[in-house]
Structure 1
Amino acid sequence: MAYDDSYKFKKVISIGIVSELTGLSQRQIRYYEERKLIFPDRSKGIRKYSFADVEQLMDIANKREEGVTTREIRNEMTKEIRQKMLQGQMNAHFRFRA
């Protein structure tokens, strides 16, 4: 049986639970959303997060403790996304199958 981690990406966790899991305040979590570092789903005005979002928030919090600015974190995230997109385009062009 293959391991399926799709549950990690389902947006089902409320901001209160995320706050408890991460140790971040709800205000900090909303701030990271405002800074475009995290992208929760919204249903009837209620934010919903995934386990992957919780991991991302922990990574952000650790970087902030090290003195990294939110702008630097966002720039790093953008760079990683671009690299993944480029790799995907190259794989598609050369018909590479992982």
Structure 2
Amino acid sequence: MVKIEEKLYQNRYIVDENRPHIRIKDEAHCAACTSKACTVCCPAGCYSTNEAGGVTLATDGCLECGTCRVICQDSGNIEWDYPRGGYGISYKFG
């Protein structure tokens, strides 16, 4: 059985360090969030709970699927755009 990490490793991701395409608007809002659904639902694992009880975002390896934007839609605490040209993910098999 093939693990998802092995499949994701085959993709190429170019990080745009000067302009991340996803941003958490208000860190305090994430700390007060009881579900922290983004930490569970992101298929690339870009979101994690930090020691302070908030959410840490690492855009490296983002699949650009928009799941985080949909999960956090009620509060609108995630600012999400596609990466600018030449950056982001390049899928090896499509």
Q: TM-score, normalised by structure 2?
A: 0.28
Higher percent of residues as strand: 2
Write 1 or 2 for the structure with the bigger share of helix: 1
In our comparison, the structure showing a higher alpha carbon Rg is 1
Q: Higher RCO, 1 or 2 (CA under 8 Å, sep at least 6)? A: 2
